[in-house]
């Protein structure tokens, strides 16, 4: 029996809040002002040769739909040489922005936690797990008052994380897919040290290859639930609703039945107006594809349409 309930028909969640694209506003504020030209090539990776279309995830007869420029998505990319980059998509065009710092190791998992600013200093924080199973707090420090001088601090918080293959942050909760098919949950406090907050499931998640944060639902009774969107090996795209108070009572709904297994990560963004939301899939070869979910609040994938290739060359470890 599946550890979560498959929900084919929509269920009633009265209110939804998405903050998955908040990072674009924090890390690349010029995007909001339109000061950056997307698709221009701020990184050599953006000029790589185009990859073949993802045929399985795009209906053959359907034309690409336009995505409003008010729709934005951001991902973390650790390049093969260990350098950190921000992958940002606005509308249906993307660009890769090097952070100017490099890790001394290749992580097995990484996730962005957030950005804080104070007294001319901006800090972007990430978790990274190295191959020895150590959890690192990686902080990119930008001293904006000193002309944007960058530095990197990398501190090992704890060890024993070798069984975690993927991380997803839904503040204050951190979710980790395990190598044995489970899903663990942690809370992240002000000191940025994760503390165990229960096991969502010990099995049933081995087929999930990517898990992105899509916001949260307000459940009947006023309780909240995290909305996680995952791609799986069989090609499906599934939305999982994890109640914060009762995380083992996960429900799911299938957004798409096939074609999504080609992506190493699928990120969910947001649009500043309306109910639409962008979905951005990155293949293992670094091809970046954009889709538009016309109504991100209806818990249905019937209105998801292909919007085009946003960029190429985003290779490495990719996560929210």
CA-CA distance, 37 to 48, in Å (whole number)? 18
Q: What is the mean pLDDT of the chain?
A: 83
CB 178 within 8 A of CB 184: yes
CB 304 within 8 A of CB 255: yes
Q: Which two tokens mark 34? A: 């339109």
Tell me the backbone φ, ψ of residue 281, rounded to 5 degrees: -110, 135
Report which of residues 25 and 159 the model is more confident about: 159
Residue 318: per-residue pLDDT: 95
pLDDT in tens, 66-87: 999 999 999 999 999 999 999 9
Q: Cite the DSSP H helix spans in the chain.
A: 22-27, 30-33
pLDDT at 6 over 50: no
Q: How confident is the model at residue 42 (pLDDT cuts 50, 70, 90)?
A: very low
pLDDT in tens, 269-289: 999 888 899 999 999 999 999
CA-CA distance, 320 to 316, in Å (whole number)? 13
Residue 80: per-residue pLDDT: 95
Residue 217: per-residue pLDDT: 86
5-319 maps to CATH 2.40.50: no
The arithmetic mean of pLDDT across residues 187-192, rounded, is 94
pLDDT at 113 over 60: yes
Report which of residues 160 and 17 the model is more confident about: 160
Q: How confident is the model at residue 148 (pLDDT cuts 50, 70, 90)?
A: low
Domain boundaries, the chain: 5-319
Query: Of the ranges 20-34, 187-201, 304-318, which one carries the lowest mean pLDDT score?
Result: 20-34
Report which of residues 160 and 54 the model is more confident about: 160
CA distances from 140 to 99, 125, 158, 189, 305 (A): 8, 6, 19, 19, 36
CA-CA distance, 88 to 72, in Å (whole number)? 7
Residue 271: per-residue pLDDT: 92
The arithmetic mean of pLDDT across residues 222-243, rounded, is 94
Q: How confident is the model at residue 62 (pLDDT cuts 50, 70, 90)?
A: low
CA-CA distance, 222 to 165, in Å (whole number)? 33
CA-CA distance, 286 to 264, in Å (whole number)? 9
Q: Cite the DSSP H helix spans in 172-236.
A: none
Residue 119: per-residue pLDDT: 82
The arithmetic mean of pLDDT across residues 295-314, rounded, is 92
CA distances from 315 to 77, 82, 113, 164 (A): 8, 11, 21, 21
């Amino acid at each position: 029996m599946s550890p979560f309930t498959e929900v084919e028909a929509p269920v009633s969640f009265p209110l939804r809040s998405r903050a998955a694209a908040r990072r674009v506003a924090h890390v690349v504020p010029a995007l909001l002002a339109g000061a950056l030209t997307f698709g221009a090539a701020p990184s050599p990776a953006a000029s790589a040769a185009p990859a073949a279309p993802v045929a399985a995830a795009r209906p053959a007869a359907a034309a690409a739909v336009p995505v409003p420029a008010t729709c934005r998505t951001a991902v973390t990319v650790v390049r093969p040489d260990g350098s950190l980059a921000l992958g940002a998509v606005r509308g249906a065009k993307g660009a890769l922005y090097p952070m100017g710092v490099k890790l001394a190791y290749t992580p097995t998992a990484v996730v962005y936690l957030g950005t804080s600013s104070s007294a001319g200093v901006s800090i972007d924080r990430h978790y990274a797990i190295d191959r020895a199973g150590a959890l690192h707090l990686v902080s990119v420090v930008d001293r904006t008052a000193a002309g944007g001088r960058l530095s990197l601090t990398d501190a090992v918080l704890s060890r024993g994380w070798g069984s975690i293959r993927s991380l997803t942050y839904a503040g204050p909760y951190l979710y980790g897919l395990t190598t044995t098919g489970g899903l663990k949950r942690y809370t992240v406090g002000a000191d940025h040290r994760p503390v165990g907050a229960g096991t969502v499931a010990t099995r049933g998640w081995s087929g999930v290859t990517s898990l992105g944060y899509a916001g949260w639902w307000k459940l009947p009774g006023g309780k909240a639930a995290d909305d996680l969107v995952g791609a799986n090996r069989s090609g499906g795209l599934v939305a999982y609703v994890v109640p914060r108070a009762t995380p083992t009572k996960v429900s799911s709904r299938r957004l798409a039945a096939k074609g999504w297994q080609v992506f190493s990560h699928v990120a969910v963004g947001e649009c500043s107006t309306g109910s639409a939301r962008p979905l951005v899939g990155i293949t293992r070869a670094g091809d970046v594809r954009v889709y538009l979910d016309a109504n991100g609040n209806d818990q249905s994938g019937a209105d998801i349409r292909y919007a085009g290739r946003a960029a190429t060359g985003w290779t490495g470890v990719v996560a929210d």
